[in-house]
Each structure stands twice: as structure tokens, then as C-alpha cells.
Amino acid sequence: MKNFGAVRLVDSVIQAGLCCGCGACINLCPYFQSYRGKTAALFPCNLETGRCFAYCPKVELDPDALSRFLFKQPYDGSPLGTVRSIHISHAGAKVKRQAFQSGGTVSALVYFALRSKRIRGAVLTGRDGFLPVPSRVTRPADVLRQSLSKYAAAPTLSALNKAVAEGCRDLGVVATPCQAAAVAQMRSNPMEDPSFTDPTALVIGLFCTWALDFRRFEAFLAERVPLPDIVKIDIPPPPASVLEVYLKEGKREFPLDEIRALVPEACLYCPDMTAEFADVSVGVLEGRPGMNTLIVRTERGEEMVREARRLGYLELDDLPDENREHLMWAAANKKKRAILQCRETGRLNGEEGAACLRLSKETVERILSQGKETSSCHS
């Protein structure tokens, strides 16, 4: 991958409207900061190469290089990425039952990883009022307080960068697909720093079809409900096709078609639904509220899941073929839409420093032959 600096990052990503606000460029230096869901370059940095560009998942993303680095195998464009095993899961008896978004698998894994000292801290997404914010926890009990989906992008990785700068290692990260890709790029030491060591011990990916632009989402809701009264937000599986906003008293529903208008452009370029560059990936299980889908991708992910299950933190079951096929169908469609979007805008293997994605011709063809062009799918 060709590395550039902040000038190209600003041009190719931020100004181009492709920033997903993941926070990978923040807290590395004084130039980039996040404010209310948006990443901004405060002042110009003219270095020719920089970590900001190297970590950014929205420019010069080379899935093949990442796959070879993480999984020691080439990237072939298959819908779910590299999969060691795939399960139905939910939090086990060792984890206090509470208001999880669905099965509580993510909370259970982070909780277990902290308790078993596999990780010494975890970077999650918390909430400041209505604003999703990065949050770093070190005590297992604190994990369970962050357990709800946020739906709007958060600069979670800024907390990872901060922790790394402070010298923390053995960190766990809960990441959306774009964030997981950024973490993978970071772990590959793209600046070839001789003193670099991988600061992560566990990357848990979250399934994601799209996120919402925080500022637009907030403005949308602010016109319709009292923001301080929001307790939980959910998008139930099809055929509901609504966004549910649970208030202190009662619930409001908004058609997803209205909500989709609030999706940032960055998400249209994202080929990854299942966080393919994580150790394990977790999503909802369609048709079974209270259950998750869990994909295990790496050896260290596998070890963690096995032990979490053995010690009662996690319950696993086999994923029925029907669910697996549906998941693959949805993931393949997202991939295909993103590839077409990138290609149409010249950002597939395009100009150096401006292209979103680098994929071989064969991989592109394989992706385009998978799934069906459809827009009705979300999870």
C-alpha cells in the first residue's frame, strides 16, 4: 500500500465526504480531532507520509494485504471473509443478565477477557448524552454499562490511539467493520517503526450495514422526540423496516427509508458487513431476538471463545444453514454495492492516494458475481 500524509487524507477522505468518523487518525498528533461525530483537521500537516493516512480505512484499503497479514491467506472476496467457525451465541450464566442489545455476546467476551486478564483494558463506545463517545474500561463491571448499540459512528479508535500513546498493551477493541479494518492496518505497522509492537490482544468486530451521521441523526430526532428521554434505539430485523426509539415513556417508530437518508456517504463505499479483519465478529441473529451470530476468524479469537464457553461466560450453538445463507447473501450484496459505488466514482484501484479500495481484477469479478443487486436488505 502506498502511504501518503495528512494533506491527501484531508483531500481524499474528509473533503471528499468519505470520512466514517472512526477515530483512527485522532490522538496520534495535534492535527486531527473529532467533534460531534465529525473528524476535522485543525491545522495543516505537510508530512509526506503519516499514520493518519496509513490507518484510515477509507483510502488505499488493501484487503489482500490485510488478509495476508492477519490470516496468512489471500483475500478472495467471499462474503463473510476469513471464517474459522460460525455460531449462534449469547452471554452465559457468569454474565449478569441485563439490557443487552441482543444476545450480549460482545459484552460477555470483553467481560471474560478482562476478568481472565487476556486483555488489560478495552476500548468501547460509550455515550455522552446522545453522543456516542469512545470509552476505555479496565474493570469488567464497567463493560456491561456500555452494552447498547449506538447506530451513529463514533471516533472509538481515538481512545485506542490514546491508550497506545500512554504505553498500554494487551488491549481489547470493539470495532465496527471500518474500525476493525483501521485497527488491522495499525497492527501491520505500516510506518515500519522499529519499536512497534501490536498493542491489541482481542479485536471484536460488530456487524454493520451502515451507521448514521450523528449530526443529521441528532437533528432528525431532535425535531421529533425529546432527546434526553431516549432510553434505547433499535432496528428490529425485517420485515419491520423501522427504527425504534424507546423513550422514558413509550416508543416511537420511524420508517427506515427516512433514516437511510441520514447514512453518511462513507458507508456506501464500505464492502464489509461482518467486520472481516477482527478476531471474532458479532451481529444479531435474524428471527431470534436475544441471540447473536458469532464468527470466529483467528486463532486467538478461537481460544478466547473456547475458554469463555468452557467457563460459562458464553453459550454457543450451531448456526442453521438457512441463517448462514441469508447472512452471506446480505454480506455479498453489501460488498457488491460498495464495489460498484467505488468503481463508478473512480475509487476502485484509482489514483494513488485517492482510491478507496485496491482489489485484483479476479476478486472484483468474484464479488460482482455473488449476491444480487438489491437494496431491501439490512440486518
Partner 1 sequence: MSFLIDEGKHIQHLLMGNEAIVRGALEAGVNVATGYPGTPSSEVIEAFSKVARERNLYVEWSTNEKVATEVAAAASFAGLRSMCVMKQNGVNVASDFLLHLASSGTRGGMLVVTCDDPGALSSVNEGESRLFARLLEIPLLEPGDFQETKDIIPWAYDLSEKLGIVVMLRSVTRLSHASGNVRFGPLPGKAARAKFSYHGPLLDPETGPVISMIPARPEPTHGRQQEKLKSAQEMFESCPFNTYTGPAEPELLIITSSICSLYSREAVTILGLEKRVGVLKLATTWPLPPKLLTKHLASTKKVLFVEEVAPTLEDHVKVIAAESMSEIGATTFYGKKSGHVPSVGELNPDIVISALSRLCDVPHQPVPPEFAREAKLLADRYSPARGISFCPGCPHRASFWSITGALQLDARQGFVCGDIGCYALAAFPTGFSTNKTLHSMGSGSGIASGFGKLRQFGMDQPVVAVCGDSTFFHAAMPALANAIHHRSPFTLVLMDNRGTAMTGFQPHPGSPTDVLGDPAPALDIEKICVSMGAKVEVSDPFDLAKTRKKLNRLLESTEGAKVLILRQACALSPERRSRKKYEITVDEDRCRGENCGCNRICTRIFGCPGLIWDREKKVSRIDDIICTACGVCPDICPAGAIIKKEVS
Residues at the interface with partner 1 (CB under 8 A) = 28-31, 33, 35-36, 38, 40-47, 49-51, 191
128: number of CA atoms within 13 Å, CB side?
Answer: 10
Tell me whether residue 99 or residue 219 sits nearer to partner 1 (CB atom): 219
Cβ contact 61:257 at 8 Å: no
Tell me whether residue 84 or residue 162 sits nearer to partner 1 (CB atom): 162
- For the bound state, the minimum distance from the C-beta of residue 26 to partner 1, rounded and expressed in Å, comes to 11
- For the bound state, the minimum distance from the C-beta of residue 281 to partner 1, rounded and expressed in Å, comes to 30
Tell me whether residue 162 or residue 343 sits nearer to partner 1 (CB atom): 162
Q: Which residues of 255-288 are buried (b: 16+ CB within 10 A; e: fewer)?
A: eeeebeebbbebbbbbbbbbbbbbbbbbbbbbeb
Tell me whether residue 123 or residue 164 sits nearer to partner 1 (CB atom): 164
Tell me whether residue 122 or residue 153 sits nearer to partner 1 (CB atom): 153
Tell me whether residue 101 or residue 156 sits nearer to partner 1 (CB atom): 156
- For the bound state, the minimum distance from the C-beta of residue 67 to partner 1, rounded and expressed in Å, comes to 26
DSSP assigned state of 10:
I
302: number of CA atoms within 13 Å, CB side?
Answer: 9
List for the chain the helix, strand, coil content (%; round to 5): 35, 20, 45
* Per-residue cell: 284: 444479531
d(CA 291, CA 103): 4
- For the bound state, the minimum distance from the C-beta of residue 17 to partner 1, rounded and expressed in Å, comes to 11
- For the bound state, the minimum distance from the C-beta of residue 42 to partner 1, rounded and expressed in Å, comes to 5
Tell me whether residue 99 or residue 227 sits nearer to partner 1 (CB atom): 227
d(CA 209, CA 131): 20
d(CA 30, CA 96): 40
Q: For residue 14, which of 34, 135, 188, 349 has the smallest C-alpha distance?
A: 34
- For the bound state, the minimum distance from the C-beta of residue 14 to partner 1, rounded and expressed in Å, comes to 8
DSSP assigned state of 375:
S
* Per-residue cell: 130: 446522545
C-alpha 5, offset from chain centre: 24
CB atoms within 10 A of CB 371: 19
- For the bound state, the minimum distance from the C-beta of residue 189 to partner 1, rounded and expressed in Å, comes to 13
- For the bound state, the minimum distance from the C-beta of residue 41 to partner 1, rounded and expressed in Å, comes to 7
Tell me whether residue 40 or residue 240 sits nearer to partner 1 (CB atom): 40
